[in-house]
Amino acid sequence: MIEVQAHLRFVRLSPKKARLLLRGLRGKSAEEVATRLALHPQKTARLLRKVVLSALANARHNLNLEPRSLVIKRISVNTGPTYKRYWLRSRGQVDLLRKRTSHFSVVLEEQKTKSGGQKTEGKEQGAENRVARPLVAHRPGSKTKKLLESQRNASGLKPFSHKL
């Protein structure tokens, strides 16, 4: 598989804040992710969108790949160097002020297609063994519990058991 990557380094943003947006982006179409991030209000979204668009441009210009066929293989935010400053406090004391930085990286790959040119829709591994988890604790015999059990039975999931 052909991989295309783009990086944005030394961003003045805490990696902990930046990682909040990453959940759920892996495996999605790169164009879809770029439009999602354009609508998000956080600074992280704006920066991640720039990196995704840069990776798309790299694919288009360097490797002549169609942007619609690219999906996000890996997207990560790593810790960069920390700038240390002093914050003067009362009675001659100081506190250490840490200004954290981040490194953003995005890796795109061509989406696997079947011989007919259709996208493959692979099942999640272990989906048949998935166990339904209760959303909230209920009293025995309550209407909500019966409703949840009927929904689980309709979806074909095994009932949750606390016993191992």
Q: What is the pLDDT of residue 146?
A: 65
Residue 12 lies in a domain: yes
Residue 105 lies in a domain: yes
Tens of pLDDT along the chain (164 residues)?
789 999 999 999 999 999 998 988 999 999 999 999 999 999 999 999 999 999 999 999 999 999 999 999 999 999 999 999 999 999 999 999 999 999 999 999 998 765 444 444 444 555 555 555 554 555 555 666 666 666 666 655 555 555 55
Q: What is the pLDDT of residue 34?
A: 94
Residue 106 lies in a domain: yes
Residue 101 lies in a domain: yes
CATH of the domain at 86: 3.90.470.10
Residue 138 lies in a domain: no
Residue 53 to residues 7, 10, 144, Cα–Cα distance (Å): 11, 18, 46
Contact partners, residue 46, CB within 8 Å, separation at least 6? 37, 40
pLDDT per residue over 57-83, tens digit each?
999 999 999 999 999 999 999 999 999
Residue range(s) defining the domain that contains residue 66? 3-110
Residue 85 lies in a domain: yes
Residue 164 lies in a domain: no
Rounded to two decimals, the pTM is 0.66
Closest CA to 102 of 14, 23, 42: 14
Query: What total of structural domains would you count in the chain?
Result: 1
Please give the angle made by the CA atoms of 78, 81 and 86, to the nearest 5 degrees: 135
Q: What is the pLDDT of residue 118?
A: 47
Residue 29 lies in a domain: yes
